[in-house]
Structure 1
């Protein structure tokens, strides 16, 4: 279940950041900022839904998912297919995320 929250967080964070990118770098209207800010606020709330007692560990594990989602965004939204180095980094990040998140600690 935690990975579903991470995926939702990644989508909302990337979307929110992308609208700022579009406003600054692609000359889009400042009106783009309103849904972008709402998306970023929703991202922050969604990330708190991840079941973990330690925020730092949650954020670290989420980082791997964010990187993976960024590669998917680059491919599907921006039309730039990941190369072998992107895919290698993608795999390393997912392994790192699972290594942080999945062990039972006691």
Structure 2
């Protein structure tokens, strides 16, 4: 699995899991929403371990860029709110930072 696939899968699982808790706590959804939410958060953690990075912290930091973009996609598709130019500019900046963290040259 590529880093991009692992990060996208992890982001979708994390957002879905967190949204299940949001729905229960903030939108009055049934507590049963917590069960798939917990399963989704476990899937998130498992998927993130598939990233090809020499250290967990570096994988987590690089993942952050994908998480930001996935959150804006969620904002649009699930919540029906259009990201504005500041959202999109911030996401682009996060992706650039992610690329530096993950693919920047390192001393041997």
TM-score, normalising length from structure 2?
Answer: 0.95
Q: Which runs of 5+ in 2 are unaligned?
A: none
**Residue matched to 2:25:** 24
**Residue matched to 2:78:** 77
**Residue matched to 2:98:** 97
Please state whether the residue corresponding to 1:51 is helix, strand or coil: coil
**Residue matched to 2:41:** 40
- CA distance in 1 between counterparts of 2:74 and 2:103 reads 25
TM-score, normalising length from structure 1?
Answer: 0.97
**Residue matched to 1:57:** 58
Deviation at 1:14, TM superposition (A): 0.2
Deviation at 1:90, TM superposition (A): 0.8
Give the paired residue count: 106
Deviation at 1:104, TM superposition (A): 3.8
Q: Deviations over 1:37-87 (max 9, x none)?
A: 000011001100111120111000001111111011001110000001001
**Residue matched to 1:9:** 10
Please state whether the residue corresponding to 1:81 is helix, strand or coil: coil
- CA distance in 2 between counterparts of 1:11 and 1:104 reads 29
- CA distance in 1 between counterparts of 2:99 and 2:5 reads 14
- CA distance in 2 between counterparts of 1:8 and 1:103 reads 23
Q: Which runs of 5+ in 1 are unaligned?
A: none
